[in-house]
Structure 1
Amino acid sequence: MHDNATLIRLLRQLTVETDRFAELFGEAHRMHRTDLNALTLIMDAKAQGRPLSPTGLARALHLSASATTSVLDRLESSGHIRRVRSATDRRKVELVVADQALELGRAFFVPLGLALTEAWTGFDDEQRATITRFLQASVEATAAVRATLVEPDQEHSPADRV
């Protein structure tokens, strides 16, 4: 049986490995880590069926408006995203991932997805449900503690130095 210290160590190791993997993608495509995080958040929002605005992205990344604009300008000029007017409220801007970015991401990340799928074949549906609950709880706990470390109205963060 694994204790909490072992689980924390393994989560930390997984975080380091996934960070290294994402950094390789960023280096290959000359993208800063903040840009990769922004692109991921925009794709996740789409997958969840909710549009993401520049303001929502700034909140999620804890960036100032000017830093967020810089990130979006880089992503847009490289062809990875588009800023479009909302179909339901023309005053709002929504962020959309370009097909080019999806293709680049698939080419790089599909092999990892296949390897993970293979690694998980030994887990049945009940075990996967438990793992899913464990990971969701871990993400929520991490986000909750992170929120206590950052002032909600703080204008600048270390990530603003992009």
Structure 2
Amino acid sequence: MEGNETAERQRLRGDLVDLLNTYSSEANHIGHAFAHLHRLNATDLHALLAVMHAERRGAPLTPGKLGEAIGLTSGATTALIDRLERGGHLRRSRESADRRVVHLRYADAGMALALSFFAPLSPRTDEVMAQFGVGELQTIEKFLHGMISALISYRDELRSH
């Protein structure tokens, strides 16, 4: 029995890695289509996603944290933020008692563009998620968090070389 479980684990490992790679590739294609449509480059798109995810978590990014997240120098981060702000995608916000602290927020115009582009995808993903119970979704969530942590750890290791 143990040999069968080991063989199945190996099969699942290979299949899941292939599926994650395919998912990542397809998501990148959609992201690139959005970026191309709105004259954004890959770094712009990564920055917007980082800002959006941080906002969803209730912890908006500072320019420094954005630079760290996407691997840019301070000067390059400032130029990126300036460009995205001019394009209506981002806005700088001073929300703390310390007025020197700047947080980055998705601008209303940028959010409207993203929502209109990605809205047709939502019913498709909702249909897939409806096929799974809450417990299954929690297991998938735990798995994806673990895989993302592994990728981030390796990415950070590569940056330190």
Question: TM-score scaled to structure 2, two decimals?
Answer: 0.89
2:145: which partner in 1? Answer: 136
Distance 1:34 1:74 in 2: 11
2:31 aligns with 22
Instruction: Could you tell me which runs of 5 or more consecutive residues in structure 2 were left unpaired when the two chains were aligned.
Output: 1-7
1: CA distance, partners of 2:52 / 2:73: 21
Amino acid across the alignment from 1:125? V
> 1:19-61 CA deviation, whole Å, 9 max, x = no partner?
0000000000001111111111111111111121100000000
Q: Number of matched residues?
A: 152
Greater Rg over alpha carbons, structure: 2
Structure 1 CA distance for aligned equivalents of residues 79 and 129 of structure 2: 39
SS across alignment from 2:96:
coil
| Secondary structure of the structure 2 residue equivalent to 1:95 | strand
Among candidates 39, 47, 71, match of residue 38 of structure 1: 47
**Letter of the structure 1 residue corresponding to residue 16 of structure 2:** L
- Using the TM superposition, name which of 18-27 and 44-53 deviates more: 44-53
Q: Any stretches of 5+ residues in structure 1 without a counterpart?
A: 155-162
What does residue range 100-111 of structure 1 map to in structure 2 within 5 Å? 100-111=109-120
Structure 1 counterpart of 2:79: 70
For CA contacts below 8 A with separation 6 or more, give which structure has more relative contact order. Answer: 1
Runs of 4+ in 1 over 4 A off after TM superposition: none
Alpha-carbon RMSD across the aligned residues, in angstroms, is: 1.4
Indicate the SS of the match to 1:82. strand
Distance in 2 (CA, whole Å) between partners of 1:147 and 1:24 is: 28
TM-score, normalization by structure 1: 0.89
2:68 paired residue number? 59
Amino acid at match of 1:147: D
Mapped to 2, the partners of 1:52 and 1:137 lie a distance apart of 22
Higher helix share: 2
